[in-house]
Structure 1
Amino acid sequence: MSLELKGRLKLIADKVPECGTVADIGTDHAYLPIYLIQQGRCKKAIASDVRIGPVQVADRNILKYKLCDVIETRMGSGLETIEKNEADAIIIAGMGGTLLTELLEADAEKVCGEAVLVLQPMNDLDVVRKWLYHHNFNIFDEELSAEGNKIYCVMAARFDGQNKGYENFQLHVGECLIKKQDPLLLSYCEMKVRQINRVLGQLEDMRDNDGLLNHYQSLKSDYLKLICQLDKGKS
């Protein structure tokens, strides 16, 4: 019996390189470790979560797919459940970007090595990219996935110790997405402009908001410029 993944989870799995051990932080149902083992992408997996409920669900699924000998569940917060250099690839997905970076910061020494990070923040992607750049990571791949009316971004990064300069807009739209002309990038930018318009509408009713207004107006302008470039590329 094999497990099938679609959409966001499938894209996350696709970004995991063939390796010895993968760690899925915040595993929930352990679908990613199960799939990766079945596909022969890794030999062993660690499925960890901070809550007992998801760990128990993961245990049941691992038992169901008869993978108890190669997938180990652990309970704990973030990266505290693994040792440094224990995993060749580390997945952190399905949580807010601010929380995700807090987990990285709490155990930075565990990710500043050879492991590939596969990250899928639900929001605040700029916060995640900024953390990675400031800690000398190379974001070597990004790709978008659509589910319903939402578009998710999956990024792959590895520590290389090189200090990289970046422009502010690169924190909001990853350089890889622009270089590869991701098929969903135009829709993603249009979605972000709609979100910014809603924020601008709220800010207009507030006092002493000149700084925020300027920030969002500048960000909107950058998105519109990219939309124009992408439209030209299609014609």
Structure 2
Amino acid sequence: MPNLDARLQAALHLIQAETHADIGSDHAHLPIRLAQLGRITRGVIVEVNPGPLEHARVNVTRAGLTDRLEVRAGNGLAPLAPGEVQSASMTGMGAQTMLGILTRTTDRVPDALVLQPNDSPEPLRRWAQERGYHVAAEVLAPGFWRYPVLRLERQSGPDPAYAGLPEAAALRYGPLLLREGSGLLREQVAADIARLTPLAAPGRAAEHDLHVAQSAAAWLSGSGK
């Protein structure tokens, strides 16, 4: 069985579906493990780069899962048919790259998404609010840095996860992560305040970012509740 690092382990635990697509899968370790554990019945692996595409095919064959996992060449969600999968995952990309994939083929975006960006997930949370997706689960995974992993589900109405929270802080750090208040998140907020304080000046972006981090710190300390 393939070994998964903490961020992919977090993604794995947020995925449970009959049909699932892993976009930009690279080595295909995540969908292989999902199939081996019975967390998905059928999977589609999408990879645009020839080298990783061949690597994925070899790994699926070695795992004996060619009857359950199909490897397709293509960019983003384009190789999928509308409604073909119940959920999709994207890991190890920048948030803007993920946004590009989600907005290029809107008719192929499934009802559930598991996203692990390598930078701030704030643009993805804003997209989710605009497109009718709620934050169903969030994890902060340790590693080279603190990796956010989100599960988004298509739902009607406003997302209740944000109710009662400072909105800017919830979008930046995650509404469910703020409510949980884990040690990892507290470390991240404290590190942001330390980094932004000497950079903040009136009118600069760092000033706004510092206020957001301070708002998150106030919530976590209890004074913002």
Instruction: Compute the TM-score of the two structures, normalised by the length of structure 2.
Output: 0.88
Partner Cα separation in structure 1 for residue 69 and residue 46 of structure 2: 10
- Residue of structure 1 in register with 2:212 after alignment: 222
State the AA in 2 paired with 1:63.
T
3-state SS of 1:103 partner: helix
SS in 1 for 2:140: strand
Q: Per-residue displacement from partner, 1:182-202 (whole Å, max 9, x unpaired)? A: 33110121233344357x27x
- Contact preservation (8 Å) 2:169, 2:215: no
Measured after TM superposition, the shift of residue 89 of structure 1 is 1.5
* Alignment of 1:51 onto 2:49: yes
Which aligned pairs between 1:1-235 and structure 2 lie closer than 5 A? Answer: 2-17=1-16, 19-111=17-109, 115-148=111-144, 150-164=145-159, 167-197=167-197, 200=199, 211=203, 213=204, 215-231=205-221
Shift >6 Å, 4+ stretches? none
The total of aligned residue pairs comes to: 218
Tell me which amino acid in the other structure corresponds to 1:79: L
1:191 & 1:134 partners in 2: Cα distance? 30
Say what the alpha-carbon RMSD is for the aligned residues. Answer: 2.2
Distance 1:64 1:197 in 2: 51
Query: 1:175-223 CA distances to partner (integer Å, 9 max, x unpaired)?
Result: 110112233110121233344357x27xx7xxxxx54x1x421321231
Q: Which amino acid aligns with 1:220?
A: L
Quick one: structure 1 residues 58 and 197, their matched pair in 2 at CA, closer, same or farther if it must change by over 3 Å?
farther
Could you tell me which runs of 5 or more consecutive residues in structure 2 were left unpaired when the two chains were aligned.
Answer: none
Q: Counterpart of 1:171 in structure 2: which amino acid?
A: L
Q: Is the 8 A contact 2:6 2:143 kept in 1?
A: yes
Letter in 2 for 1:193: I
Deviations 1:32-91 (A, max 9, x none): 110000111011111111111111000111111111111110111111011121111200
1:164 Cα deviation (Å)?
Answer: 5.0
Contact 1:134 1:163 in 2 (8 A): no
Displacement of 1:229: 4.5
Percent identity of the aligned residues?
A: 26
- Whole-angstrom CA distance in 1 between matches of 2:134 and 2:211: 27
Provide the C-alpha distance between the structure 2 equivalents of 1:87 and 1:73, rounded to a whole number of angstroms.
Answer: 14
Separation (CA, whole Å) in 2 of partners of 1:197 and 1:107: 40
More deviation in 156-165 or 31-40? 156-165
- Distance in 1 separating the partners of 2:216 and 2:192: 12
1:105-142 Cα distance to aligned partner (Å, 9 max, x none): 1112222x5x3100111113111111111111111111
3-state secondary structure, aligned to 1:153: strand
Distance 1:164 1:63, change over 3 A: closer
State the TM-score, normalizing by the size of structure 1. Answer: 0.84
* CA spacing shift, 1:107–1:68, aligned 2, 3 Å: same
Unaligned 5+ runs, structure 1:
205-209
